Structure 1
Amino acid sequence: MKGFVLGGVSSGVGKTVATLSIVQALEDAGHEVQPAKAGPDFIDPSHHEAIAGRPSRTLDRWLEGADGLRRNYRRGEGDVCVVEGVMGLYDGDGSSTAMVAEALDLPVVLVVDAKAGMESVAATALGFREYAETIGRDIEVAGVVAQRAHGGRHEQGIRDALPDDMEFFGRIPPNDDLGIPDRHLGLEMGAEAALPRDALREAAESLAAERLADVAREPPAPESPSPSVASAESVDATIAVASDAAFCFRYPATIERFRERAELVTFSPVAGDAVPDADAVYLPGGYPELHAAELESAGTLSELGDLAADGMPVLGECGGLMAMSQSLTTVDGERSEMAGILPADVTMHDRYQALDHVELEATGGTLTAHAGETIRGHEFHYSSAAVDGDASFAFETVRGDGIDGDHDGLTEYESLGTYVHVHPESGAFDRFLERVSTN
């Protein structure tokens, strides 16, 4: 599957809208598009899926390694992959857009805000191309998409200013209907605020879909199979995965790994579903703070707490950790009882408390790692957890903030709650499945 990367000149330049418009343009031209996202985000991919109709692949050098992101890329479907970048093209020491483009050997289409510029758009694009040589990165900036650009003289001025060897792939015209509402953690999810098709199709008319398809190329094959799945036979286990508006942050590859190796069932704690008959429960991240009162009254978390006390393994990431705690207090001061599995009380804040790529070292054997192993992940949360004095942690933080600055992974009974999201390429979910199957 051929592909290209949409890199922004900065955060907030309109990469997501440009990505969705390009997906629409390529689909209208008869292509089957596989969306992908550079970086560890869950929200932008939800918008990709709402328009493309298939899950967006997560491509992160820190989380997966170069070979891992090549493997994850190749699991996609379609004839053209559109990879939305993260922040500005070169921003990020863990996994920048440039690192992803280089690892996959994909060309970069630069998204430039042209609202108040013409020649400056060309100067910006040329600077981004030349900077790659300055820092020794093998990055090909093939051309630009002009965000918030008008037609006529404005568009022509950008075209005329670009060097002959830099393509103008079109523009995204200003349109109030192409705005996505945001909140803490980023934009609203695609299921809540998908962009209207008519507005996307209008933008798509100003894009050179076939020239974008022509610039795409095939990445190199992975050098080796994933070490974590080289001999990953099925395990005798059923995993119950929470899936609703409160628990919506999970990578498609995680669900794929569960289905490949075990039985998977889903349930909704917000709706008050009974916990399914299963060997373990996975609580992904999401927005439990927006549904705290419903979670408290629904009864599912209370049931889950009883099951955990009886020895059922429960793995929670970020929002899952919050739901496993004793209580959750919103920014408005509303306190709700949670599952009571972990000895912590969680409080929401109006500013984020942690945002980084993370590395954890296991101090002992736990659900996702053997003693002494390190796993890589990502943290981004607006909450903090006040833990009891006798709390036990599974990990020391090599990089990142974790729960208390030095540790992450609260453990109680056979359960584990962490602020860190991990990708299956880390091997963490394979160890979880194997640990559960031997209990």
Structure 2
Amino acid sequence: MTNGFVLGGVSSGVGKTVATLAIVQALEDAGYEVQPAKAGPDFIDPSHHAAIAGRPSRTLDLWLEGEDGLRRNYHRGEGDLCVVEGVMGLYDGDGSSTAMVAEALDLPVVLVVDAKAGMESVAATALGFREYADAVGRDIEVAGIVAQRAHGGRHEEGIRDALPDDLEYFGRIPPNGDLEIPDRHLGLEMGEETTLPRDALREAAGSLEVERLADVAREPPAPDDAVGVAEAVDATVAVASDAAFCFRYPATIERFRERATVVTFSPVAGDPVPDCDGVYLPGGYPELHAPKLGSSDTLGELGRLASEGLPVLGECGGLMAMSRSLTTAEGETSEMAGILPADVTMHDRYQALDHVELKVTDDTLTADAGRTIRGHEFHYSSADVDDDARFAFETVRGDGIDGDHDGLTAYESLGTYVHVHPESGAFDRFLEAISP
């Protein structure tokens, strides 16, 4: 079991990801093996974690996983220290805020504060965040701060001297134009595309109090409900894996590999669909590769196999690829697999962003009728579906596909805008459904 701490921000955009990467680099250089993690349902920040730490980042979300699932997923990590990057501001989010994750894991919080235009006010901000925990009944410890975009000399001294004795100063991230990650819709560019330069990270790491950070970490409690290894199924899952289909939780692939045989293929490269019992199309950026997807034979073959009864499960970007067509925000239309009776259009502004709860109305690949399933949605596209389209889910919380429903079904296949975590049981149900 690994000791850890949480990096919480005072707000979104404060530089948590850069601070996380610099801290991971500093700890690695000091001889620690770091397990990165991310509070909240994110695929992009974890890709940057993995690029620096050399191991997959764990997803920690109370809404998606529940408290025991959260702890199980944490304890599946490796290494000497776990650094958990928070989501938004420390207290923001009703489904699973950074503070809620820190409380469930009983981990201390290191607060990332933007110090570019303040000194004593930085200390006042940190003190306010610590006192607010008591005011709202959150059982969390704000242990100290990392000063983002802080200069050395008088600037740093002013911040350190202003902090109360019981708030640690863990160092600073100096201003550096090389420590900026380009962004686009859905967030930052992926870690595989834009990796921060190691020399810039090491320069920032030199301003951090590495051993103090290591010393503040502690071990979270074990889950109350331990789950053993599930029975293997005689099934092969084909997982789309390339730049268009890159949004998947490490725990999902782990679950597939624990219980079944996993093969991968690239629709962007035009790979043939592998011999398999079911296909998983994760989310990603099919809109950035629509012409290649539309001109390759892969999606056409996938559509034919689905019409013959091969189960296909698509999440968000996967749903888009399963539709008849995809129109980019620039108005260019490409044919997709044609499995689902829908046409998808990209927009300049996001169409949905929330934790989601779905009521299952009909048995489907990921859940039985009568159950509820939790997930997360974040997408810039909308789907225009046929009047006679069939849905497997009613939305209790969230927007889904048409505001009231999600889980578009055709043949033995399912497409949904919602990303789910394996702790929901959805992928176990999928494996059992495709098992011959």
TMscore range, shorter length:
over 0.9
Query: Aligned to 1:435, which of 421, 433, 436?
Result: 433
- Look up the match of 1:189: 190
Runs of at least 4 residues off by over 2 Å: none
- Look up the match of 1:246: 244
**What's the CA shift for 1:225?**
2.1
- Look up the match of 1:83: 84
SS at match of 1:311: coil
The residue identity in structure 1 corresponding to 2:315 is E
- Look up the match of 2:409: 411
**What's the CA shift for 1:232?**
1.7
Partners of 2:371 and 2:322 in 1: CA distance: 24
- Look up the match of 2:346: 348
- Look up the match of 1:173: 174
- Look up the match of 2:231: 233
Partners of 1:360 and 1:322 in 2: CA distance: 20
**What's the CA shift for 1:364?**
1.1
TM-score, reference length from structure 1: 0.99
- Look up the match of 1:377: 375
- Look up the match of 1:365: 363
Query: Aligned to 1:393, which of 391, 394, 399?
Result: 391
Partners of 2:171 and 2:248 in 1: CA distance: 33
TM-score, reference length from structure 2: 0.99
SS at match of 1:275: coil
The residue identity in structure 1 corresponding to 2:388 is D
| Structure 1: unaligned runs, 5 residues or longer | none
- Look up the match of 2:289: 291
SS at match of 2:365: coil
**What's the CA shift for 1:162?**
0.1
The residue identity in structure 2 corresponding to 1:122 is A
**What's the CA shift for 1:429?**
0.2
How many residues end up aligned between the 2 structures?
435
**What's the CA shift for 1:423?**
0.2
Partners of 2:289 and 2:417 in 1: CA distance: 19
Q: Deviations over 1:399-422 (max 9, x none)?
A: 000000000000000000000000
Q: Deviations over 1:293-342 (max 9, x none)?
A: 00011110000000000000000000000000000000000000000000
Q: Does 1:275 align with 2:282?
A: no
Partners of 2:34 and 2:316 in 1: CA distance: 31
SS at match of 2:178: helix
Query: Aligned to 1:334, which of 332, 335, 342?
Result: 332
Partners of 1:220 and 1:305 in 2: CA distance: 46
SS at match of 1:71: helix
- Look up the match of 2:46: 45
Q: Deviations over 1:41-74 (max 9, x none)?
A: 0000000000000000000000000110100000
- Look up the match of 1:7: 8
The residue identity in structure 2 corresponding to 1:385 is A
Q: Deviations over 1:360-419 (max 9, x none)?
A: 011011000001011100000000000001100000001000000000000000000000
Partners of 1:209 and 1:339 in 2: CA distance: 51
Partners of 1:307 and 1:175 in 2: CA distance: 51
SS at match of 1:142: strand
The residue identity in structure 2 corresponding to 1:368 is T
The residue identity in structure 1 corresponding to 2:329 is V
Partners of 1:93 and 1:416 in 2: CA distance: 29
The residue identity in structure 2 corresponding to 1:72 is N
Partners of 2:310 and 2:284 in 1: CA distance: 22
| Structure 2: unaligned runs, 5 residues or longer | none
RMSD, aligned CA = 0.6
- Look up the match of 2:255: 257
SS at match of 1:357: strand
SS at match of 1:3: strand
The residue identity in structure 2 corresponding to 1:254 is T
- Look up the match of 1:218: 219
SS at match of 2:112: strand
Q: Percent identity?
A: 85
Partners of 1:191 and 1:279 in 2: CA distance: 30
Partners of 2:417 and 2:187 in 1: CA distance: 17
- Look up the match of 2:26: 25
- Look up the match of 1:99: 100
Q: Deviations over 1:131-190 (max 9, x none)?
A: 000100001000000000000000000000000011000000000000000000000000
Partners of 2:409 and 2:296 in 1: CA distance: 25
**What's the CA shift for 1:231?**
6.4
SS at match of 2:388: coil
Partners of 1:429 and 1:194 in 2: CA distance: 31
SS at match of 2:435: helix
SS at match of 2:150: coil
Partners of 1:86 and 1:267 in 2: CA distance: 32
